[in-house]
Amino acid sequence: MSKVVKLRNGLNIRIRGKAEKIFVKSDLAEKYALQPTNFPGLTPKLTVKVDDVVKAGTPLFYDKYRPEVLFTSPVSGKVSAINRGERRRILEVVVDADREIQYETFRQADPSGLSREEVIENLLKSGLWPYIRQRPYAIIANPADTPKAIFISCFDTSPLAPDYDFIVKEEAESFQKGIDALSKLTSGKVHLGLNADYPPSNVFNQAKGVEVTFFKGKHPAGNVGVQIHHIDPVNKGDVVWYLYPQDVITIGRLFSKGVVDMSRIVALTGSEVKNTRYYKTMTGASIKDMVKDNVEEGELRYISGNVLTGSKIYNEGYVGFYDSQITVIPEGNFCEFLGWSMPGFNKYSVSRTFLAWLMPGKEFRINTNLKGGNRAFVLTGQYEQVIPMDILPVQLLKAIIVEDIDLMENLGIYEVAEEDFALCDFVCVSKIETQTIIRKGIDLMIRETT
């Protein structure tokens, strides 16, 4: 019988705009982009220039410090722009897509019959290796390492999250192929984390060569970091790798078809979306056609990902490399006189500040307003209430701020990533950007210890 882990701490934020379970097969977008900013710690080196013709699977750039790690185009077409930011930092490589995709070819084989080295080589050459990330540090995995385990979280508990059971229902074969490939990469087990609140998809439940654990609780129960913490914690010197279901499916397609097929189901969500749906598109696709004539009037925030951890984009921006969700909510660029003290049934609060707590099932139209200013730490105990991990979050954040590496190690820096502290940002009365602090701590650890 599978193990069930019950989590007491956490928070489900009730936002209006969850995607209806309706598939929309969108036309091939005109533009696609691969964004180095999606990969923490990456220093990209270009392999293409503007007007170069590429196929799906052609390298666009690589990691300066690990040249074998390639990042390849999701479609065929012409490189139309290489957009840069401050200090000429590469922000995105944009490809104008062909009407019909042409593919580079890679090794097509049953991964069960390949060696570990052959599986790694195929993933590296195809540009799919970046789907595999590691803890500690939540960065792209080092192909020279052998992880003690691989984790796949098969459900998402973040606000308005897509339903992976719905997304993968037609992908059983590719998912199993991906599992077979990943099994070659570890000396330990491949773990699937499933939601105990409802029966999982047969794609997950009948997967072979995996160990299944069920999790019951509020967000962030679906975070892979939380699952790793409760199954096989990361200590100093340990390495585990992790992915999400659609990443596994993309890897499975590589070995089944011998091509890079980055087709992906993306949920269009948020209170400002008129028709929330699931769109069949591709990694890096422009969201222009998804949101055209499908959002409310007004100043809006477009997010690739969820409202807690996603990246701000514009209305013609691109689906992030790891994202399966686009969220649209109102901007909060206004001040409300005595907003914190005025009663209201339409104001959401973690505490019982507003009367809306009398309606536990109500969903809210939440904007980006911080509702306060930055100030010193106030010890309220709220962080501990939303992190279902055996760590001391405030002490860890303070250790990062003073750059005490030994203390950071003792307090659990190896186990956490920004997403694990996202709810701390939301509930923090001091408006401290905890996710930013966690990434600074991780970057410090990488510089000083690797």
Q: What is the pLDDT of residues 54-85, one digit of tens each?
A: 999 999 999 999 999 999 999 999 999 999 99
Within a domain: residue 347? no
Residues 6+ apart with CB under 8 A from 450: none
> Residue 199: pLDDT above 80?
yes
Within a domain: residue 13? yes
Among 332, 347, 373, which residue terminates a domain? 332
Give the domain extent around 412: 382-449
Q: What's the confidence (pLDDT) of residue 396?
A: 97
Q: What's the confidence (pLDDT) of residue 350?
A: 81
> Residue 1: pLDDT above 60?
no
Within a domain: residue 312? yes
Residue 393 and residue 312 share a domain:
no
Residue 409 and residue 283 share a domain:
no
- pLDDT band, very low/low/confident/very high, at 360 (cuts 50, 70, 90): confident
Residue 403 and residue 313 share a domain:
no
CA 92 to each of CA 38, 84, 443: distance values in angstroms, whole numbers, following the listed order: 10, 7, 22
Check residue 18 and report its DSSP letter.
P
Residue 417 and residue 319 share a domain:
no
> Residue 372: pLDDT above 90?
no
Rounded distance between C-alpha atoms, residue 385 and residue 237, angstroms: 29
Pairing label, strands 325-330, 300-304: antiparallel
Within a domain: residue 68? yes
Q: What's the confidence (pLDDT) of residue 338?
A: 65
Condensed to tens digits (0 to 9), the pLDDT of residues 103-126 reads 999 999 999 999 999 999 999 999
Rounded distance between C-alpha atoms, residue 268 and residue 304, angstroms: 10
Residue 409 and residue 278 share a domain:
no
User: What does R_g of the chain's alpha carbons equal in angstroms?
Assistant: 22
Residue 98 and residue 237 share a domain:
yes
Residue 170 and residue 311 share a domain:
yes
Q: What's the confidence (pLDDT) of residue 373?
A: 79
| Residue 153, phi then psi, degrees to nearest 5 | -85, 120
Within a domain: residue 211? yes
- pLDDT band, very low/low/confident/very high, at 295 (cuts 50, 70, 90): very high
Residue 186 and residue 45 share a domain:
yes
Condensed to tens digits (0 to 9), the pLDDT of residues 141-198 reads 999 999 999 999 999 999 999 999 999 999 999 999 999 999 999 999 999 999 999 9
Within a domain: residue 164? yes
Q: Domain count of the chain?
A: 2
Q: Read out DSSP for 241-306? A: EEE-HHHHHHHHHHHHHSS---EEEEEEESTTBSS-EEEEEETTBBSHHHHTT-B-SS-EEEEES-
Residue 386 and residue 274 share a domain:
no
CB atoms inside a 10 Å sphere around CB 432: 20
Residue 127 and residue 13 share a domain:
yes
Q: 97 - beta bridge partners?
A: 77
Kindly state the tokens that stand for 60.
């666009």
Residue 425 and residue 327 share a domain:
no
